[in-house]
Structure 1
């Protein structure tokens, strides 16, 4: 299927914040920085500059999580690689929720101090699964996504898988990484989510929208549907072309000006004028999304809907 020109994103690793450890400054200096609000503590013994006033809550959580990664890397003395959702963040892959702990993979716990903010994973490591990104050791992108698919909720795993595929991870590489986990905890769920991963999803919101529909048993929608209108060619986020039904995910930051609103209204009208029905979705709509969509599907399809068991939970 053709993709919207320029739609493919690229890997842009995160820029890790500058951090200071307790050992870097005298106690009175640390106290002054914290008291003045110039620094904040992100984990025990790890400090970073306080965020800017316009920083959104999700952005603040991401910044603190990345600061913990940078600080943890400096603190650990044994061999280690950041993994799971922590590695996904280093790779610059969108996450549905910021991990509350820093995930580290190591051959053993020797030299790696346990803390409440650290999730340690041990086991056999293959050189082919290890690399370095943004100046810190991490699992490869395929291994990172496979670990996330096996350990996160299906929706969270799909957001990461879609994001990585959209940024150029080859499906064959991801399939190999997932199947290498056969017989390990979460392997069945990882394979189930892998089956619905799609490189056409351009945002976490689009991935979650598609996930809810598939979890509830609806037919697999296409992504990036090309539609020719009187205003030119547009690509709808997802939908079912055979039933002339399109879905558009609207993020909170999508319309930054009155001009954006007017342009989107003209685009919407042009899509509808082609005879298609267009359902708009926001984050607040996801919970009851399936009930909105089902009436637009043929009766025979409605009767065949069966929830996908492995995608629940």
Structure 2
């Protein structure tokens, strides 16, 4: 996780002569970026952050402007826990315990929750819903394909944050009494589909989009072999069509745990050699990247062109 830059709070700098005019000039020049009224961040540091870290900093900035204790939820709680979600232009989400329909103001969307059903945690200096409630809320109130990304993640140990995996039984056990029947059904479907073998957010999102598009469920982390032995493990494999699917996320070429001492250029060469071996062994290989997931229908067209089989309809069985 990247170390977030320190926020510049106007209320702390007034005594140092940092007037509103000076702050405005620095924002105009790009030296500062205004996150919320009275909350700024160094412009260069902001520009170096990944979008998900920028969103996390917006959550922190919101917390600095609230006078009353606030419990963050949904995408905002997920960002604090380090749980990946799809998209980065979400509003800040927080709970309200007053049953007046919730309120949205100044980029903060508030959602009513019965306090009896909410376990509040202090994590990274902020009050947030727990990991269980956070992913259940996302499953209840975001599209299925997006909900699978955080759901898969919490079923795996989070080594970077030393957090243990959650079980499907834990997740299912927290549904009753906290959600309406329709939301409970959406959550249950997401939990049943979730699979900890998806090793990244991109792999999870890809798998969910495949399911929504009607493709057969692939095997995950399938071992591919040739005469020389094990070539490696594919992200997806359709045995009936002998097709290997590979999601190319930047983690494979950037993060130390994937590089294992190699340079990024060496990782690219190794991946090309691995793919050549797989093709020589017989399977068709189809690859895609994040851009293919964010353009509606693009992944579906790629898989269909490669011959990935579709699920049969009930009437064809």
TM-score bracket, shorter-length normalisation: 0.7 to 0.9
**2:234 alignment counterpart:** 236
Provide the secondary structure at the position in 2 that maps to 1:264. helix
**Which residue number in structure 1 is paired with residue 161 of structure 2?**
none
Aligned residue for 2:66? 76
Partners of 1:217 and 1:305 within 8 A in 2: no
- Structure 1 position 175 matched with structure 2 position 168: no
Moved more, 163-172 or 211-220: 163-172
Deviation at 1:282, TM superposition (A): 2.2
1:163 aligns with 2:153: yes
TM-superposed CA distance for 1:69, in Å, is: 1.6
- Alpha-carbon contact 2:139-2:190 (below 8 Å) kept: yes
Gap change, CA 1:51 and 1:174, over 3 Å in 2: farther
Q: Is the counterpart of residue 38 in structure 1 residue 50 in structure 2?
A: no
**Which runs of 5 or more structure 2 residues have no equivalent in the other structure?**
159-164, 255-263
Corresponding residue for residue 278 of structure 2: 271
Instruction: Please state how far the C-alpha of 1:148 moved relative to its aligned partner.
Output: 0.8
Higher relative contact order (CA 8 A, sep 6+): 1
Partner deviation per Cα, 1:268-306 (whole Å, 9 max, x = no partner): 1222333333221223444233344357669xx647157
Structure 1 unaligned segments of length 5 or more: list them.
1-11, 307-313
- Counterpart for residue 304 of structure 1: 312
Aligned pair count reads 288
Residue 20 of structure 1: aligned partner: 8
Q: Which residue of 295, 299, 309 maps to 1:289?
A: 299
Contact 1:225–1:238, Cα closer than 8 Å, also in 2: yes
Query: Is residue 2:89 matched to residue 1:91?
Result: no
Identify if the C-alpha distance between structure 1 residues 283 and 123 changes in structure 2 by more than 3 Å, giving closer, same or farther.
closer
Match of 1:199 among 196, 200, 207: 196
Aligned equivalent of 1:216 = 213
**Which runs of structure 2 are paired with 1:99-178 in the superposition (5 Å)?**
99-108=89-98, 115-126=105-116, 129-166=119-156, 167=158, 168-178=165-175
RMSD over aligned CA atoms reads 3.2
Q: Report the TM-score, using the length of structure 2 for normalisation.
A: 0.77
